[in-house]
Amino acid sequence: MLATGNNSLTSYRLSIRYGADGFSFSVCSTLDGSTVQTDHFPVSAPAAAADVLRQALQKPYLMDYRFQSVELVTETQATIVPLEHFNKSDMLAYYRLCFPSMAGGGCSITDMQYQILPPVEAVMIFCLDQNLLRIVQECYPDVKACCSDAMLLEHFAAMQQKRPATEDSLQRDAYLHVADSRLFVAVFHHGKLQYAASQAADNDNDRTFLMLGIWKALDLHAQRDALHLEGAASAELQKTLSEYLLNIDY
C-alpha cells in the first residue's frame, strides 16, 4: 500500500531517480504535474547505494504526501527489442550482447527489468540492482521500476504523434535529448520508430561527433530531415550542429 499523509487530499507522485551521482527524489502533484519538493542524496561508491537509499526513504517529509504512484527510475544502459521478438527468458542474453562488459557478472538475471512501450511496439530492457528495488518495495510495495531511456522514448513518441503530417513522404524526424554525461537519440518516420539509443558524452565535441555519426549511419538528409533538440544543449552545440544540418528546432 502506498504511503498516505493526512495533511492534504491532493494526490502526489514520487519519483526516485538513481544515477551516477546518487539518488534524486521528486514529489510532483498529479493534478497539474508541478514539482512541489525535491531532494538529492549523493552516493560516494556503488557499494554505499543501499544504505543511502534506506536513509533517504526515512525522511519525515515523505509522510506528508499522499502518493498515488511511486517510480524508481534508473539511468543505466538499456537496449530495445521489437515487442514481437521479446521473451523474458532472453533478457540477460540480449543485454550482454549489447553490453559485453556486463558478461563478467556486472548484471545478473535477477537484476534484469523490462518496460513495455506500446506507442512504439517495443520493449526496453535494462539492469537495476535487485537490492535497491527491494529496499523501495519495503516502503512502497507497488513501486514501478523504470528506465530513463524508456521515459524519453515515450516522450518523443508522444511528440511525434502530435506533429502535423508533412507532404514529403521521405522526411524523417530525429529527436536528441542532451544531459550532462549522456545523450539519447530517437528517429521516427511517419510515426514509426526506426532507431533509438543512448551514448555516453560529457562534452560538445563528443556530442557533435556522435550525432553526426548517427545521422550519416542512418543516411539522414542534411536538408530534408528534421532534428528536434532538447535538454541541456549548449548554444555552442546548437551553433555547431546548425553548420551541418539545416532543419533544426529547439
Indicate whether 87 and 209 sit together in one domain: no
Residue 155 lies in a domain: no
Hey, what amino acid is at 61? Y
Q: Are 52 and 23 in contact (CB under 8 A)?
A: yes
Distance CA 226, CA 96 (A): 33
Q: Say which CATH number the domain at 168 has.
A: 3.30.420.260
Phi and psi based region of residue 231 (left: phi greater than 0; alpha: psi -120 to 50; beta: remaining)? left
Q: For 57, what's the count of Cα atoms within 13 Å in the CB-facing half-sphere? A: 23
Is 0.75 topped by the overall pTM? yes
Weakest mean pLDDT among 21-35, 39-53, 95-109, 190-204: 95-109
Indicate whether 172 and 242 sit together in one domain: yes
Neighbours of 104 (CB within 10 A): 8
Give pLDDT, residue 211: 96
Domain membership of residue 176 as a residue range: 163-249
Distances (CA, A) of 147 to 11, 72, 125, 126, 128: 23, 8, 8, 7, 9
Summarize pLDDT for 205-222 with one digit per residue, the tens.
999 999 999 999 999 999
Q: Where do we find the cell 555547431? A: 240
Q: What is the mean pLDDT of the chain?
A: 90
Mean per-residue pLDDT, 184-199: 93
Weakest mean pLDDT among 26-40, 103-117, 191-205: 103-117
Residue of higher predicted confidence among 138 and 163:
138
Q: Are 125 and 80 in contact (CB under 8 A)?
A: yes
Helices and strands: H and E segment counts in the chain: 6, 13
Residue 32, pLDDT above cutoff 60: yes
Indicate whether 172 and 127 sit together in one domain: no
Q: Say which CATH number the domain at 78 has.
A: 3.30.420.250
Helices 204-217 and 235-242: crossing angle in degrees, nearest 10, is 30
Indicate whether 140 and 58 sit together in one domain: yes
Distance CA 230, CA 200 (A): 16
pLDDT classification of 90: cutoffs 50, 70, 90: very high
Residue 66 lies in a domain: yes
Residue 153 lies in a domain: no
Indicate whether 131 and 212 sit together in one domain: no
Distance CA 184, CA 175 (A): 8
Among 105, 121, 147, give the residue marking a domain's end: 147
Mean per-residue pLDDT, 188-199: 92
Indicate whether 187 and 238 sit together in one domain: yes
Looking at the 3D structure of the chain, how many domains does it have? 2
Give pLDDT, residue 107: 80
Indicate whether 120 and 79 sit together in one domain: yes
Indicate whether 74 and 5 sit together in one domain: yes
Chain centroid, CA 220 distance in Å: 24
